[in-house]
């Protein structure tokens, strides 16, 4: 039997899945037997009112709500989720550090979610799944309230903005099968859903104030409510700190407002607006030696980053008939990406004269984004062969504009100053994208318990580029445009075994467009392949999920992800040549099980509630083909068979939460395998520390909370309890080349009030 590899994993690819399934079915058998016993016991005791405890499961939007994790419903807002692997994180039901958007805690129960932890501020959450890169979550289609919030969905899909977790009602994660509804991604959908105003009062007020290590101060304040037919919600959020590392202070301010008006029983309109601005000092990378000596040190004190971000939306919900619903959303993004700093290799000192300590001039890079879009989605229920089927589809029109100004000569100062000493940027480019899309899926009931969900999507994409890559005549680019038509298809299935358990499976085609950076030469000598094509491939899921009463929640599955036409740079005729270099494949196991053992053995509530979860993922991600003509005659130089960079062999997270009479305590452990940081699987770090293996690590977190009179909240926690020394990434450029340490031990205290 094939081992996951060659890379120190002490189990075969299939044996963990077999063991987990055996364990699960054992639990199911015992719980099923116990359920019958409990029913008989309830019948005996029902005459004694002092011994009968009536419980009711609360399901907000999805299915099987236990331990803060749900699944998406079959259809929601004109979108079909049946047959797809999904997780919904209910933020109010998990015990985690919300004050710094601690992603390893918040996403702990989503199996296989890798996290880049190089930014202790929590301003930019970087997550990925199934062996993909977590770089600013760019392999996900990242949305807020269902609409785009990334830089540019097609040309530069990086998420520089993440809402504060205190503001969220839930986070929706749908794996690669989301491509038919959302288009451009391999990872799937990541949607941040903001809270709504209370429906039972005119006004409510919430405030949470947090202080913590290294000068952390976090303030979240919100109001919301409903007056007649108008519902509203607004918040103001501030977070600042000196940072765990030297030269890593930051300050972020975010504001949000939304209003919804119910015109009639069938029609609702709404609008929301978000504005964020921040300044973040970038400590830069370290060599491996310096990292081992002291990971908190920094040799860059003049590097800064800031991204003023504005997103807005308007929507209309119209229930045309009881079986036909329409939702139209218009949205826009108006944002910037600004950086200034000295970004040479960490082995180069940031001084010209070591006696006078005169500084180098800094590089200034600035992007501006103006994106607009409209999505119209409808769902129609109809009878077919005696069953109710559902057709869901829609259209999308999207316009993206990006202006990129790079290599500007900045000042020799040390503050966040974007002014230039030379009025001309070294590189100035303009990009635009026009996208039209049509998509549709249908739920067919083959039998009462079996659903088949086929779907299709068609995208027309038009890109343009103009400008120069340096200010000399040879650097001028001939204005160019590209057109392509992209057709995706897929099919899903779901079989209901019991009221709350089902088997699911899905096959969906995916694609990732060529990004702006890949269309742009990095130097005047670099040649771009005129036949450069978008990446394409597919996602396959198969699993078993569900819940048993209110004491067991599970989702166990296998997956395969094919990623064709990956883009890279090779040397051809002594000239850099950017082309599609090869294909990769990821396959593995994703397993989540949460059990409440005290509920399993007793109906008593005076002993508290104990929840224990295990979220496990085994990933085998490797390159399958290597299309480099320069080494066609030397297979020893091929990367075929190499591990995909930034992809760990395993991601395991375990935790336990005990709750009693308003008190709650959570202990969580995250264990992640080693990763290579380049496709060649370089073991030892180079001099600049931009490549080389990063070892695996384990991190422990403790969170305590107490709710008094359902109004006052007290929370305290210790992140990285054992002060583990580790890193999750290396940088090749900004925010500073080298190894980027994760934060060590930090503590925080939160006091909250709800009126």
- Give the model confidence (pLDDT) of 726-748 as tens digits: 999 998 877 888 999 999 999 99
And the tokens for 502?
């089902």
- Nearest of 569, 447, 451 to residue 503 by alpha carbon: 451
Whole-number pLDDT of residue 60 = 38
Res 534 pLDDT > 90 = no
Digit-coded pLDDT (tens) for 315-333? 999 999 999 999 999 999 9
Tell me the C-alpha distance between 134 and 492, whole Å: 26
> What are residue 159's phi and psi, to 5 degrees?
-95, 95
Which of 21-35, 223-237, 474-488, 562-576 reaches the highest mean pLDDT?
A: 223-237
CA angle (247, 253, 258) in 5-degree steps: 155
Q: How confident is the model at residue 21 (pLDDT cuts 50, 70, 90)?
A: very low
More confident call, 355 vs 15? 355
3-state secondary structure of 596: coil
Digit-coded pLDDT (tens) for 629-640? 555 556 666 788
Q: How confident is the model at residue 570 (pLDDT cuts 50, 70, 90)?
A: low
Whole-number pLDDT of residue 574 = 66
Whole-number pLDDT of residue 10 = 33
And the tokens for 754?
């709800």
The proportion of the chain whose per-residue pLDDT surpasses 70, expressed as a percent, equals 87
And the tokens for 317?
């919900």
Whole-number pLDDT of residue 636 = 63
More confident call, 471 vs 385? 385
3-state secondary structure of 136: helix
Digit-coded pLDDT (tens) for 97-140? 999 999 999 999 999 999 999 988 999 999 999 999 999 999 99
Whole-number pLDDT of residue 351 = 80
CB 350 within 8 A of CB 299: yes
And the tokens for 664?
């709650």
Res 471 pLDDT > 50 = yes
Q: How confident is the model at residue 1 (pLDDT cuts 50, 70, 90)?
A: very low
And the tokens for 465?
């580029």
pTM here is: 0.90
Tell me the C-alpha distance between 615 and 104, whole Å: 12
Whole-number pLDDT of residue 59 = 35
Q: Distance between terminal CA atoms of the chain?
A: 60
Tell me the C-alpha distance between 694 and 288, whole Å: 10
Whole-number pLDDT of residue 633 = 55
The proportion of the chain whose per-residue pLDDT surpasses 90, expressed as a percent, equals 69
Whole-number pLDDT of residue 45 = 37
Question: 70-101 as b/e, with b when 16 or more CB fall inside 10 Å?
Answer: bbbbbbbebbbbbbbbbbbbbbebbbbbbbbb
Dump the DSSP string for 326-353.
Answer: EEEEEEEEEEEEEEEE--S-TTS-S-SB
Res 577 pLDDT > 80 = no
Fold of the CATH domain 15-46+63-754: Maltoporin; Chain A (2.40.170)
Tell me the C-alpha distance between 275 and 40, whole Å: 57
Whole-number pLDDT of residue 641 = 87
Whole-number pLDDT of residue 640 = 87
Q: Please state the separation of Cα 585 from the chain's center in Å.
A: 20
CB 568 within 8 A of CB 679: yes
Mean pLDDT computed over 376-385? 94
Res 387 pLDDT > 50 = yes
DSSP lists the bridge partners of residue 562 as 538, 585
The runs of H, that is alpha helices, within 123-208 are 179-182
Mean pLDDT computed over 566-591? 81
Digit-coded pLDDT (tens) for 74-107? 999 889 999 999 999 999 999 999 999 999 999 9
Whole-number pLDDT of residue 549 = 84
Whole-number pLDDT of residue 23 = 43
Tell me the C-alpha distance between 188 and 184, whole Å: 9
Mean pLDDT computed over 353-369? 85
> What are residue 215's phi and psi, to 5 degrees?
75, 20
Whole-number pLDDT of residue 355 = 67
Mean pLDDT computed over 273-285? 96
Whole-number pLDDT of residue 697 = 97
Tell me the C-alpha distance between 227 and 497, whole Å: 44
Question: Is it true that the peptide bond before 735 is cis, omega within 30 degrees of 0?
Answer: yes
What is the rounded average pLDDT for all residues in the chain? 87
Tell me the C-alpha distance between 183 and 536, whole Å: 12
Digit-coded pLDDT (tens) for 334-352? 999 999 999 888 888 888 7
Tell me the C-alpha distance between 96 and 704, whole Å: 9
Tell me the C-alpha distance between 105 and 109, whole Å: 8
**CB count in 10 Å sphere of residue 485:** 9
Tell me the C-alpha distance between 623 and 639, whole Å: 7
Whole-number pLDDT of residue 528 = 80
Tell me the C-alpha distance between 307 and 405, whole Å: 14
> What are residue 186's phi and psi, to 5 degrees?
-105, -30
Whole-number pLDDT of residue 56 = 32
**CB count in 10 Å sphere of residue 221:** 15
And the tokens for 48?
């004694």
Res 753 pLDDT > 50 = yes
């Amino acid at each position: 039997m094939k081992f996951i590899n060659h890379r120190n994993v002490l189990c075969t690819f299939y044996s963990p899945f077999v063991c987990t399934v055996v364990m699960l079915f054992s639990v199911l058998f015992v719980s099923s037997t116990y359920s019958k016993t409990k029913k008989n016991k309830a019948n005996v005791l029902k005459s004694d009112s002092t011994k009968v405890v009536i419980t009711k499961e609360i399901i907000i939007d999805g299915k099987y709500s236990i331990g803060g994790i749900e699944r998406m419903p079959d259809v929601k807002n004109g979108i079909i989720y049946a047959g797809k692997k999904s997780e919904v994180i209910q933020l109010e039901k998990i015990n985690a550090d919300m004050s710094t958007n601690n992603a390893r805690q918040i996403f702990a129960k989503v199996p296989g979610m890798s996290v880049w932890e190089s930014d202790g501020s929590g301003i930019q959450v970087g997550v990925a799944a199934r062996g993909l890169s977590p770089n600013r979550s760019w392999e996900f289609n990242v949305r807020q309230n269902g609409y785009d919030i990334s830089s540019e969905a097609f040309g530069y899909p990086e998420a520089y903005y993440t809402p504060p977790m205190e503001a969220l009602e839930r986070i929706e994660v749908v794996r690669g099968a989301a491509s038919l509804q959302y288009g451009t991604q391999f990872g799937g959908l990541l949607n941040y859903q903001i809270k709504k105003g209370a429906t039972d009062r005119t006004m409510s007020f919430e405030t949470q104030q947090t202080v913590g290590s290294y000068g952390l101060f976090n303030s979240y304040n919100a109001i919301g409510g409903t007056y007649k037919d108008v519902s509203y919600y607004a918040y103001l959020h501030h977070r600042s700190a000196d940072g765990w590392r030297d030269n890593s202070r930051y300050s972020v301010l975010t504001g949000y407002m939304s209003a919804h008006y119910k015109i009639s029983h069938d029609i609702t309109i709404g609008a929301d607006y978000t504005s964020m601005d921040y300044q973040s000092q970038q400590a830069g990378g370290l060599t491996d030696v310096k990292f081992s000596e002291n990971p908190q040190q920094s040799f860059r004190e003049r590097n800064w980053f800031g991204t003023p971000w504005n997103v807005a939306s308007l929507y209309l919900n119209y229930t045309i008939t009881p079986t036909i619903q329409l939702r139209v959303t218009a949205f826009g993004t108006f944002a910037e990406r600004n950086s200034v700093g000295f970004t040479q290799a960490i082995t180069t000192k940031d001084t010209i004269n070591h006696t006078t300590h005169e500084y180098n001039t800094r590089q200034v890079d600035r992007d501006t984004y103006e994106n607009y879009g409209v999505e119209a989605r409808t769902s129609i229920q109809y009878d077919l062969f005696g069953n109710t089927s559902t057709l869901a589809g829609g259209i999308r029109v999207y316009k993206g504009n990006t202006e990129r100004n790079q290599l500007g000569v900045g000042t020799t100062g040390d503050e966040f100053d974007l002014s230039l000493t030379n009025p001309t940027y070294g590189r100035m480019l303009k990009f635009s994208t026009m996208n039209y899309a049509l998509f549709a899926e249908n739920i067919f009931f083959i039998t009462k318990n079996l659903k088949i969900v086929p779907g299709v999507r068609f995208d027309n994409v038009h890109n343009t580029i103009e400008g120069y890559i340096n200010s000399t005549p040879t650097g001028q680019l001939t204005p160019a445009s590209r057109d392509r038509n992209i057709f995706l298809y897929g099919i899903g299935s779901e079989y209901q075994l019991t009221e709350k358990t089902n088997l699911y499976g899905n096959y969906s085609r995916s694609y990732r467009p060529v990004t702006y950076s890949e269309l742009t030469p990095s130097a005047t000598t670099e040649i771009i392949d005129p036949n450069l094509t978008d990446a394409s491939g597919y996602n396959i899921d198969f699993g078993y999920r569900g819940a048993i009463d209110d004491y067991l929640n599970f989702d166990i599955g296998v997956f395969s992800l094919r990623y064709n036409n990956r883009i890279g740079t090779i040397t051809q005729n002594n000239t850099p040549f950017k082309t599609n270099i090869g294909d990769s494949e990821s396959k593995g196991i994703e397993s989540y099980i949460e059990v409440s053992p005290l509920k399993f053995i007793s109906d008593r509530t005076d002993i508290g509630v104990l929840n224990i979860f295990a979220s496990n993922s085994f990933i085998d991600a490797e390159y399958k083909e290597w299309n480099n003509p320069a080494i066609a005659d030397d297979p020893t130089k091929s990367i075929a068979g190499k591990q995909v960079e930034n992809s760990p062999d395993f991601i395991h997270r375990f935790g336990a939460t005990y709750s009693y009479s308003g008190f709650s305590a959570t202990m969580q452990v995250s264990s992640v395998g080693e990763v290579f940081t380049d496709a060649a699987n370089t073991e030892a770090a180079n001099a600049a520390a931009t490549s080389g293996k990063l070892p695996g690590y384990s991190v422990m977190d403790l969170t305590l909370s107490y709710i008094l009179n359902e109004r006052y909240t007290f929370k305290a926690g210790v992140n990285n309890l054992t002060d583990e020394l580790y890193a999750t990434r290396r940088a090749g450029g900004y925010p500073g080349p080298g190894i980027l340490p994760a934060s060590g031990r930090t503590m925080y205290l939160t006091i909250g009030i709800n009126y």
